[in-house]
Structure 1
Amino acid sequence: MTHFKTMLAGALATTALAGTASAEELRMSWWGGDSRHEATQAALQVCGEALGHTIKPEFTGWSGHFEKVATQLAGGTEADIMQINWPWLPIFSENGDGFADLREFSDTIDLSQWTEEELEASSRNGALNGLPASVAGRIFFFNKTTFDKAGLPIPATFEDLMAAGPIFAEKLGDDYYPLEGIGLDASLLVQLVTTQKTGKSFINPETNEVQWSAEELQAGIEMYQAMVDNHVIKSWPAHAAAGNIALHENAAWTSGQIAGAYQWDSTLFKISDPLSDGQELIPAGLLRLEDAQNDGVYRKPSMVFSISANSPNQQAAAEVLNCLLTEPAGIEAMGSARGVPSSDVAAAQLVDNGGIQQIQVDAQNMVMQASAPAISPFNEDPDVRAGIEDTLELFAYGELDSAEASEEILMLVNEALEDK
């Protein structure tokens, strides 16, 4: 894959808006928090005025937004432009015809600002169903202050991480751990090491079939247990006994007792801001096993912008999307409300004007430069996730052994995929 974003002076050159359609009245829907709402409304005003269109904003919080969009799509009342969660694409556009094919507007939207891999990830049955607003991936973050206290460098491999556990216990005490990992984090750690070992992602994105054998998955589960046994990760029961508190709210994290996390690069400030004064959190990329076939990166569009297949104003909607994502005025107004933008020109402009901090770019580069086979949106299907996480919890409490857990996960995931 190419470097995250090439910082060329030409990328920041002001470009003229393409010829526009006649003035139209459009609607755009999205979810988010106050900062995203404010930035998006400002961008819609800027682009609407530049293009001569009126764009009505429709925004909510995350809760209930899926149900709202599903109801609107079923009734044909959806907005012209929609922010869609990437895993929803196969649900709402099984055959690729649930949203407009944005490649049909390549004379309006500058698709060259995205890599072909990014565009392919947002396509269904060959139709480009959405433009990635940003790409997120899981990487390791470590508290340098705590590792310095233990007299250790930041881990560069899984072997380094495994060796750190006993040293943490010896030098800092039994309450100190190099890494956090339960629930979804545990699931994705198992998937990381199994992808590295096998060279295959869990679910084939082309066939929607599980690609791992029970033995391969069992080895990944046993690697996770080895991290628990080596004092790298606090056990699931011990963590639950202390209260299942979100990482960024956990006193053991904010004090540096838990000194590492496997998290989305886009959550950098969410997990670093709560740290106590004087502590330094740094992105460390992907740790590799000695026999790894790839980096195992779990990388995906965090969300996409789609155009309704039913919209009578698709050309105008395409003009608005191009303005929001590739034109200087729209980029400035949108800022980093959705993370580091996937659009090359948007990322370059925000880096140049200070809209993105260098540490965010560094973390995103680690995600974008890492290797792994493509993942399936069905990895995040609720039934698939529940099958993995619930079974791993039973394993963590000793109710299943690793062989039984791998068989149970495969059974539950295959059942979930049957009707997809």
Structure 2
Amino acid sequence: MRLLTTTIIAGLAASAAQADSLRMSWWGGDARHAQTQQALAICGEKHGHQIAAEFTGWSGHQERITTQIAGRTEADIMQINWPWLPLFSRDGTGFADLRDYDHIIDLSQFTDEQLAGGEINGVLNGLPVAETGRVYFFNKTVFDAAGVPLPTNWNEVRAAAGRLGEGVMPFEAQGLNAIFLVSTTVTQRTGKDLIDPETTTVAWTPEELAEGIRFYLSLVEEGVIRSWQQVAGEGNIELFEMRPWAEGRIAGTYEWDSAYAKYADPLGDQELVPVPMLQVADAVNDGTYRKPSMLFAISRNSRSPEAAAQIIDCLLNDPEAIDILRDSRGIPASGIAVERLAAEGGIDPNVQAAHDMVLAGNGPTPSPLNEHPKVREVFADYLEAVAYGQIGPDEAAGEIVHEINRAIRSFR
């Protein structure tokens, strides 16, 4: 995709000698591009800097950043996807340490947990722009029409199967959602994330993982969710693009809180609502999967890191910038930003409710390596093999643990 570049001239009252020349790169759509450029103009003027904006769509952005970082030609300020942190900063030295600029950036607007999401090896490589997490959503209209209460645990989801109307499935767990369903179940039972932060190895035993796989299979067998084979046979279409979803014949899913509109819009007058985390009977925590959706980072090669820090602080914490950017990158992580938007009624009530559930949930801080492409590939391949009867849960679990450990050993 062609790189779009524009230069924002700011700080008209400042001389060229006083101004720092900065570059900022990000991905997004047209609305995000326009809002970010407008906010950069405001922030640049306030601090007397000139900022060149470099923006693209999502496709190809990681590859471009990878090339730039390798050649030390990256922008001063970068929007970084959370799973990229260990790829670009394996030992924590890939980006500037933002704590070195805590006299400029108001880190008090972020919780310790939020800041931990941007750390590698104890170094604050990125500041979370927004935070997102997985939430259970159900079609309240379908449940109400059948006289079935919205579920509060998995036994109630199982009980809803066959009671919502002919051919109506109470839940969906296809592809990535199947992986998350298995992972959440194991996390709830063990209290551990997939990746042990101390050893950078798989924290779960094969026996623990096998139980999670059996849980997923039990939902298929009891008619709670569609089988892997059925989903594949229908073309692996995204749930929000499927007619059964739009027509209320699939009545629940497990998705990012920030993706609410994508799933609610196709339902028309039907009401999609979040519910608190569903737990297995022997859970020791919620298993909430919460992460930064993206981060702002400063290049370790920047010649003007303090100026870059001023712009980051302005984008995240300045009232004028907050009013411009709003939720263009999701519900903001900054405390002052989310309070300002909420007070102005700028957040959909269901999105806010879902986000509140994410923040209130408990569970281990997930490693970015959960979303490493090879980790996801290994999980998907063996879950598919189990679904097709080519391998049993115990053998699959052992292979998953072994293969993921091989995939991430270079990050130790």
Please give the range of the TM-score, normalised by the shorter of the 2 chains. Answer: over 0.9
Counterpart in 2 of 1:280? 271
Q: 1:22 to 1:359 in 2, by over 3 A?
A: farther
CA shift, 1:243, in A, is 2.2
Counterpart in 2 of 1:403? 394
Is the partner of 2:136 in helix, strand or coil? strand
Alpha-carbon displacement from aligned partner over 1:191-222 (angstroms, at most 9, x marks no partner): 01111111111111332111111111010000
1:238 aligns with 2:234: no
Which of 330, 341, 348 is equivalent to 1:350? 341
On the 8 A contact 1:227/1:233 being kept in 2, the answer is yes
Counterpart in 1 of 2:113? 117
CA shift, 1:357, in A, is 2.2
1:53 aligns with 2:52: no
Equivalent residue runs for 1:89-104 within 5 Å: 89-104=85-100
Letter in 2 for 1:216: E
Counterpart in 2 of 1:70? 66
Which of 88, 101, 104 is equivalent to 1:105? 101
Counterpart in 2 of 1:368? 359
Is the partner of 2:90 in helix, strand or coil? coil
Is the partner of 2:161 in helix, strand or coil? helix
Counterpart in 1 of 2:315? 324
Equivalent residue runs for 1:94-173 within 5 Å: 94-168=90-164, 172-173=165-166
Which of 151, 154, 172 is equivalent to 1:180? 172
The root-mean-square deviation of aligned C-alpha atoms, in Å, is 1.2
Counterpart in 1 of 2:8? none
CA shift, 1:47, in A, is 0.8
Counterpart in 1 of 2:380? 389
The alignment's TM-score, normalised by the length of structure 1, stands at 0.92
On the 8 A contact 1:166/1:230 being kept in 2, the answer is no
Letter in 2 for 1:346: A
Counterpart in 2 of 1:200? 192
1:87 aligns with 2:79: no
Is the partner of 2:363 in helix, strand or coil? coil
| Structure 1: gaps spanning 5 or more residues | 1-20
Query: In 2, Cα distance between the equivalents of 1:226 and 1:22?
Result: 66
Is the partner of 1:58 in helix, strand or coil? strand
Query: In 2, Cα distance between the equivalents of 1:278 and 1:329?
Result: 35
Counterpart in 2 of 1:12? none
Query: In 2, Cα distance between the equivalents of 1:148 and 1:408?
Result: 43
1:255 aligns with 2:251: no
**Whose relative contact order is higher, 1 or 2, with alpha carbons under 8 Å and at least 6 apart?**
1
Which of 203, 208, 224 is equivalent to 1:211? 203
Query: In 1, Cα distance between the equivalents of 2:31 and 2:150?
Result: 34
Letter in 1 for 2:203: Q
Letter in 1 for 2:225: I
Is the partner of 1:274 in helix, strand or coil? helix
Q: Which runs of 4+ in 1 moved over 2 A?
A: none
Letter in 2 for 1:112: S
CA shift, 1:166, in A, is 3.3
CA shift, 1:398, in A, is 1.5
On the 8 A contact 2:162/2:168 being kept in 1, the answer is no
Query: In 2, Cα distance between the equivalents of 1:64 and 1:239?
Result: 28
Alpha-carbon displacement from aligned partner over 1:259-306 (angstroms, at most 9, x marks no partner): 00000000000110111x320000113101221100001111111000
Identity rate of aligned residues, in percent?
Answer: 50
On the 8 A contact 1:145/1:280 being kept in 2, the answer is yes
